Structure 1
Amino acid sequence: MGSVRTRKDTLFFDFRFLGERCREQTTLPDTKPNRKRLETILARIEAEITLGTFEYGKYFPNSSMVNKMAEIQAKQKPGYTKTPLFKAFAIEWYSEMEPTWRTSTAETYQRYIDKRLIPHFGEMEVSQITKAHILKYRSNVAKQSDGKLKPKTINKFIKCLNMIMNEAADRYKFTPPHLNIKPLKEEKVHIQPLSIQEVNLILANVRPDWRDYLLVRFFTGMRTGEIDGLKWENVDFERREILVRETFSMGRWEYTKNDGSQREIEMSTLVYNTLQERYQNRDVSCEMVFHANNGSPVHTPNFLRRVWTPLLAYLKIKYRKPYQTRHTAATLWLAAGENPNWIAKQMGHSTTTMLFSVYARYVPNLTRKDGSAMERLLASNIDGFHEPVNEAEKQADEELSVSVNQAQQSEAEEVAFWDQFLTPSQTSSMGGRY
């Protein structure tokens, strides 16, 4: 039989449920009307306990006893099977999955499990973790971080938890609790590619020993780990291709980000000539294309501190992370009118979705041709319409025309050169690309 009692002049419930003593504090002062009101509620609680319909969370949603009572009730249901604690299962799951991941991925998941998930769910049976538990955990993480953790980061914690719970549900035949939980809304990532003028300014002012490194980054779209891990054996001068086969990240060699990142990047003439000259003047004892003075791969923190950051500050260019060189390559290719499928292949993307959703908006700004096609259509078909003349565009067009003519002349000379050594059938099979 429960009772309404008082502690420090405020009333609280004292009753038993599922063999446990339950004491739930209220904020009501000890007055006769308040006591009578709580006794009425207590009588209703005991009636529901007798009928087997009492829901602890309905009356005391913020109580620490809610989860405990839910676990006890679940264990008393027919067909209940004891399952391992989350801590033990998470460690077992990690050991089984670790060989399938890259080292950096494995370390990340290990950190999430040890520092984020086990402290909260470790002592709970995997089958007793509910949707409410996950939502409450996510909410607490967001509040405790005070905005320091972005939704994208919190979603990664939950993704790791979901993978563990999926495997547990499959093994112990229960419904995964995370189903229908939508991820937190993530902020849209805005890229900041550099303009061709900024690229030219950087290449003209960077230290000579770093110029080749930045030039290749700007005009190949390689990721930091890919270019830092580039070896001469993966530079095919005969086919004019850079073979992306591995990366150097966090001080070790690893497989690329994914299978799609295993690709062949076609070298432009500028990149080809730069690497050719570098190869001829290389240190034959070093297998790396770009390396520190001692022959080890590029040390990114050192590059940031001593080269990249002071260079942008000196040139008064808004700071970007070096990864923006990859985005710069994509926008320049699009602005030059390259085939989107070819660009996606160069970047290591499986589809062109990324190009049109992220990069395409920069094309008009780079080409200064936004709407000009319509202007030319009207000028050629509508009487009395004259296309407005933009002097800046006119000059740019003239410069572009000169560049195109020079490129065509250079290509014609190159074709003539190779024609001395190739039969007609070989020439046609080359498809015009050398």
Structure 2
Amino acid sequence: MGSIRARPKTGKLFFDFRYQGERCREQTALDDTPTNRRKARQVLERIEAEITLGTFDYARYFPNSAQAAQLAQKAQEAAGHTPRLQDFADIWFEEMKVQWRKTHQETVYLTLKKYILPEFGDKEVGVITKAHLLEFRSTLAKVTSRKGKPLSTTRINHIMLPLRMMLNEAANRYDFISPYHGIKSLKVPRSDVAPFTVDEVKRILQTVRADFRAYYTVRFFTGLRTGEIDGLQWQYVDFDRRQILVRQAWVKGELVSTKNDGSFRTVEMSQLVHDALQEQHRVTGGATWVFCSRDGTPLSHNNVTQRIWYPLLRHLGLAKRRPYQTRHTAATLWLAAGESPEWIARQMGHATTEMLFRVYSRFVPNLTRQDGSAFERLLRAHFGINSPETRTNTASPEEGP
């Protein structure tokens, strides 16, 4: 914290603050009066705010300062000993990729190649300024995607993220202040979820092709992500305990581990899901994958979406929605049934209930139950299935969730 002080001999005020690890004292021509101290304090507050944000220009405030020239020289000397971003990016990428999925490696590599290196590749990491970064981000907002639409705020943040990580790491290694200091990610507008109603789900399941009815039944009533259901193998379907073990996902033609620790979870089967998987087992039970193509390979979600999902919605006169809305539908139906938010969060793979309330708050009517039984009642009421106690050739009540 800086201060405003007065010279004992002259009675003139001077600034006393720290910048880039150096103590800075700059003289003024102001006499030591309450009014002048207040004015100087306001200037000092602006200086300290700009130092925090990384936008402070020493020479602008103190153009004739010898210390300003010294600090500028020091920064220039430090910059002269830093590598080009292109060279540092090669080192950084090799060090980081060991902890990333292959799909994420490809995403970062393409981001570097398409956006970051063409702009900053030939610049030394030590001379890249905050102004350079803000100008680059502003330029990204004017870029259009292959569909002719501007890049989304989320996409821009994802492009900037590797750049921030590299500059922060370079600043630590080469002892300079990261120009990214004080730059926050762009605020992403909250996207309203568009889940299906129970009646819409019924229409979809009654109309969809018979060979995909089980697939969409499981999607609608388990909350599995696209990669999780496409990567589901029979070894992770436990009919005895009526559970689906989510352990992996099929992403871009590759079987990968789950998205995070929370995604590594156990999903309870409702009666409807249990019956759908039993029916599916009679079709693909001899294969590795629960839902697969005729040659036994995992489904191509793009192919299924374009050939099955969107044509079905058009046929039913329903608004076009991404298949991911089936996951939102599961969450909102559980909430509508009155299930406990903690139970729902576990089913969805959320570490806490925070996201549940943030995303689905308007769908929370009355949370009382915590074991899935309320959801069973909702399904029985709308789909006309019997409870496990009244069915034959199904799990006993003791084997239920």
Write the deviation string for residues 167-189 of structure 1: whole angstroms up to 9, x where unpaired: 11111122211111122222211
> Hey, what does 2:237 align to over in structure 1?
235
> Hey, what does 2:165 align to over in structure 1?
163
Aligned-partner residue type, residue 86 of structure 1:
L
> Hey, what does 1:208 align to over in structure 2?
210
Shift of 1:76: 7.0
Aligned-partner residue type, residue 206 of structure 1:
V
Aligned-partner residue type, residue 132 of structure 2:
H
> Hey, what does 1:194 align to over in structure 2?
196
- Count of residues in Structure 1 that have an aligned counterpart in Structure 2: 322
1 CA distance for matches of 2:380 and 2:116?
61
Aligned-partner residue type, residue 102 of structure 2:
T
> Hey, what does 1:254 align to over in structure 2?
256
Indicate conservation of the 8 Å contact 1:74/1:80, yes or no.
no
2 CA distance for matches of 1:219 and 1:234?
17
> Hey, what does 2:289 align to over in structure 1?
288
> Hey, what does 1:44 align to over in structure 2?
none
Indicate conservation of the 8 Å contact 2:214/2:279, yes or no.
no
Q: Name the stretch that deviates more: 136-145 or 148-157.
A: 136-145
SS of the residue 2:244 aligns to: strand
- The correspondence of residues 67-146 of structure 1 with structure 2, limited to 5 A, is 77=76, 82-145=81-144
CA spacing shift, 1:155–1:410, aligned 2, 3 Å: closer
Write the deviation string for residues 41-85 of structure 1: whole angstroms up to 9, x where unpaired: xxxxxxxxxxxx977xx9xxxxxxxxxxx9x95577566660111
Indicate conservation of the 8 Å contact 1:341/1:351, yes or no.
yes
2 CA distance for matches of 1:208 and 1:349?
32
2 CA distance for matches of 1:358 and 1:117?
32
> Hey, what does 1:376 align to over in structure 2?
none
- The correspondence of residues 274-313 of structure 1 with structure 2, limited to 5 A, is 274-284=276-286, 286-313=287-314
Higher relative contact order (CA 8 A, sep 6+): 2
Aligned-partner residue type, residue 302 of structure 1:
N
Shift of 1:282: 3.0
Indicate conservation of the 8 Å contact 1:193/1:327, yes or no.
yes
Indicate conservation of the 8 Å contact 2:388/2:396, yes or no.
no
Indicate conservation of the 8 Å contact 1:331/1:360, yes or no.
no
2 CA distance for matches of 1:247 and 1:208?
24
2 CA distance for matches of 1:323 and 1:136?
35
> Hey, what does 2:44 align to over in structure 1?
none
Aligned-partner residue type, residue 112 of structure 2:
I
Indicate conservation of the 8 Å contact 1:232/1:289, yes or no.
yes
2 CA distance for matches of 1:326 and 1:201?
17
Shift of 1:329: 0.2
SS of the residue 2:224 aligns to: coil
2 CA distance for matches of 1:126 and 1:119?
14
2 CA distance for matches of 1:161 and 1:79?
20
SS of the residue 1:143 aligns to: coil
CA spacing shift, 1:79–1:270, aligned 2, 3 Å: closer
> Hey, what does 2:353 align to over in structure 1?
352
1 CA distance for matches of 2:78 and 2:285?
71
User: What is the RMSD computed on CA atoms of the aligned residues?
Assistant: 3.0
2 CA distance for matches of 1:215 and 1:244?
17
CA spacing shift, 1:154–1:261, aligned 2, 3 Å: same
Indicate conservation of the 8 Å contact 1:334/1:360, yes or no.
no
CA spacing shift, 1:126–1:407, aligned 2, 3 Å: same
SS of the residue 1:93 aligns to: helix
CA spacing shift, 1:167–1:244, aligned 2, 3 Å: same
Write the deviation string for residues 383-431 of structure 1: whole angstroms up to 9, x where unpaired: xxxxxxxxxxxxxxxx979849x989644778x9858xxxxxxx6xx7x
1 CA distance for matches of 2:86 and 2:240?
54
Larger Rg: 1
Shift of 1:138: 0.9
2 CA distance for matches of 1:175 and 1:136?
19
1 CA distance for matches of 2:181 and 2:75?
24
Write the deviation string for residues 117-164 of structure 1: whole angstroms up to 9, x where unpaired: 111111111111111111111112223449611111111111111111
Unaligned runs of 5+ in 2: 1-57, 64-68, 367-376
CA spacing shift, 1:108–1:232, aligned 2, 3 Å: same
2 CA distance for matches of 1:303 and 1:54?
61
Indicate conservation of the 8 Å contact 1:74/1:128, yes or no.
no
Write the deviation string for residues 286-306 of structure 1: whole angstroms up to 9, x where unpaired: 111001111111111221222
Aligned-partner residue type, residue 101 of structure 2:
R
SS of the residue 1:253 aligns to: strand
SS of the residue 1:260 aligns to: coil
SS of the residue 2:245 aligns to: strand
SS of the residue 1:127 aligns to: helix
> Hey, what does 1:375 align to over in structure 2?
none
CA spacing shift, 1:80–1:318, aligned 2, 3 Å: closer
Indicate conservation of the 8 Å contact 2:86/2:121, yes or no.
yes
Shift of 1:232: 0.2
Indicate conservation of the 8 Å contact 2:388/2:395, yes or no.
no
TM-score (norm 1): 0.68
Indicate conservation of the 8 Å contact 1:245/1:263, yes or no.
yes
Aligned-partner residue type, residue 99 of structure 2:
T
1 CA distance for matches of 2:258 and 2:378?
37
1 CA distance for matches of 2:211 and 2:354?
36
> Hey, what does 2:342 align to over in structure 1?
341
Indicate conservation of the 8 Å contact 2:379/2:385, yes or no.
no
Aligned-partner residue type, residue 141 of structure 2:
A
